[in-house]
Chain A
Amino acid sequence: MSDWGAEDQRILRSLRAVDEPTEQDRGRVAARLEAELSISLGLGATLVGLATTSTSVAGATAANVATTAASVASAPSTGGTLGLLGLAKWSVAVVAVGAAGWVASTWSERSVDTPDPSSVAPSAPRTTSAPPLRPTPRDARTKDAPPELEQPALTPPTLTSPAPTPESETTASRRTATRAPTSAPSKTFGLEDELALIGDAQKALAKNDATRALTLLERHAHDYPRGTLQLERSGLLAIASCQSGRTTEGRARATRFLSAHANSPLAARIRKSCGLAE
């Protein structure tokens, strides 16, 4: 019978590097969290703060900053708290690399080349209907025991997940990391502006000011036709149209959105706003 040995351990540990996220993965999820939670993880603010100077950061310098910061950001999680400084450095790295066209090409590709995710993409994990899972008894758990998901609490994100990412797209994004810089779109560093517009539209909707929401969303469509948050825009446009009384237009938008993104976290809100059945 085989016993656990050094070779087995080495083989298993060969997987350590396989599942490591890229800086793009980290930045993408951070941006989504900032949008959903209306918080700053340092990314948005840093992007804005450095956007004006980033163009002066040339390739080699950018790469150096990125390398330094990446090493900070990838410090072993058991090595202590990374701290805001580390996050800030990492953010600088993202911007710096972005200046070299890395982030630029990836983000623009994500927007431009996004295939219809409905055919392949599973949905966001949040759901409005699934009962809480109880894989193990937790009645006696302490307060710090991992909390179970309480579905109702998961549903009200003001700004919910962007497009589910199709497999090929994700892979493509990763591959892009090693790709030579292409043309950097002028709106690369507009994520903060995108967030502000979509966030304001969301707030307007919450105040039943659908007209203002429509204005903001149309401005977003004009300024960022292929923006990172275009999926949010599409969903919110459907809601805003229906809320503002433009029911026919709103329902058409809702139907289009739901046919492509039936499992979007926005789907339930859209159906409700536009009076569509499940």
Chain B
Amino acid sequence: MVTPGDCLPSTAELLPREPVPEFAALYAQYFPFVWRMARRLGVQANALDDVCQEVFVVVHRRLDDFEGRSSLKSWIFGILHNVVLVHRRKLRRKSPETLDPESSFEPDLLPDSGYDPHERASWAEEARLAQSALAELDEDKRTVLVLVELEGMTAPEVAEALGVNVNTTSARLRAARKQFAAWVTRYRARERWRTP
């Protein structure tokens, strides 16, 4: 079995060392990332504040331990991932029915500025489509796809964050893209059938 440690040193070598910013600057820089990814990991709106707060509490406590051997972003995402898992476990104990990552998309959250109605409708439709397609993926694939495509992380960074082999990450990414594309194709086909 390949342990995370097997891939981390080589991964770390690929990453340029980045200076560790002060916590305040780090919060300013990474809060949006943490917020977005918490949402995308299925954290419901009513728990987002708590989850994000917890992530930065841990970051604050552990910042001195960070030696720049991985990217800050992947390090922070690793913390977020663990916080979300703990959060889910708590939710599951409390009420299993609230654990529905597929329901995490909220049309109300769509920003409504800067688009004319038609453009907005089209964009919102695509966002819903994307959300539905993502929901079809298992979480491992979804997470990799989102981190790479929406957050611009590299496969080694994602591997680092999730503690998995880079090859595994790349395989998940390929599978996720394929599945996502297949879902979109099926959706388009159904739409054409409904509206000849």
Residue of A10, A147, A164 near B126 (CB, 8 A) is: A10
Q: Is the interface of A mostly helix, strand, loop or mixed?
A: loop
Complex CA–CA separation, A18 to B40 (angstroms):
10
Determine whether the beta carbon of B78 is less than 8 Å from that of A146.
yes
Proximity string of chain A (199-214) to chain B, C-beta cutoff 8 Å, 1 when within and 0 when not: 0000000000000000
Residues of A within 8 A of B96 (CB): none
Residues of chain A contacted by B66 (CB below 8 angstroms): 144
* Separation of A256 and B22 alpha carbons in the complex (Å): 40
A167 → B minimal CB distance (Å): 4
A138 sits at the interface (CB 8 A): yes
Q: What residues of B have a CB within 8 angstroms of the CB of A28 in the complex? A: 49
**Complexed CA–CA distance, A123 and B51 (Å):** 9
The answer to whether B50 touches A86, judged by C-beta atoms less than 8 angstroms apart, is no
Which residue of B25, B60, B65, B110 is within 8 Å of A82 (Cβ)?
A: B25
Residue of B nearest to A15 (CB): B130
DSSP majority for the B interface? helix
Interfacial chain A residues near B5, Cβ < 8 Å: 139-142
Interface string of A1-28 (1 = CB under 8 A from B): 1111101111111111111110001101
Report whether A29 and B52 are in contact in the complex, using a CB–CB cutoff of 8 Å: yes
Q: In the assembled complex, how far is the CB of residue A27 from the closest CB belonging to chain B, in whole angstroms?
A: 10
Q: Which chain A residues border B40 with CB–CB below 8 Å? A: 15, 19
**B86 smallest CB distance to A (angstroms):** 6
Q: Count A-B contacts at CB 8 Å.
A: 284
Q: Are A20 and B46 touching (Cβ within 8 A)?
A: no
Of all chain A residues, which has the CB nearest B11? A142
Per-position 1/0 for A47-82, Cβ under 8 A of B: 000000000000000000000000001101110011
Say whether B14 faces chain A, with CB atoms less than 8 Å apart.
no
A184 interface residue (CB < 8 Å to B): no
Contacts of B74 in A (CB 8 A): 146
In the complex, A108 Cα to B62 Cα: how many Å?
34
Query: Interface residues, chain B, CB within 8 Å of chain A?
Result: 1, 3-6, 8-9, 12, 19, 21-25, 27-33, 35-36, 39-40, 44-54, 56-58, 60-62, 65-70, 73-79, 81-87, 89-91, 94, 98, 105-106, 108-112, 123, 126-127, 129-131, 133-134, 145, 149-150, 152, 160-164, 177-178, 180-182, 184-185
What are 14 A-B pairs with beta-carbon distances under 8 A? A14-B123, A15-B134, A17-B110, A21-B32, A39-B24, A78-B152, A82-B25, A122-B91, A122-B94, A124-B54, A127-B90, A141-B163, A146-B163, A263-B94
Known: A142-B5, A142-B69, A171-B108. 4 other contacts (CB 8 A): A1-B182, A37-B57, A148-B82, A154-B57
Seen from chain A, the residues whose Cβ lies within 8 Å of a Cβ on chain B are 1-5, 7-21, 25-26, 28-30, 32-33, 36-37, 39-42, 73-74, 76-78, 81-84, 86-87, 90, 117, 120-127, 130, 133, 135-149, 153-154, 157, 161-162, 164-167, 169-171, 174-175, 178, 263
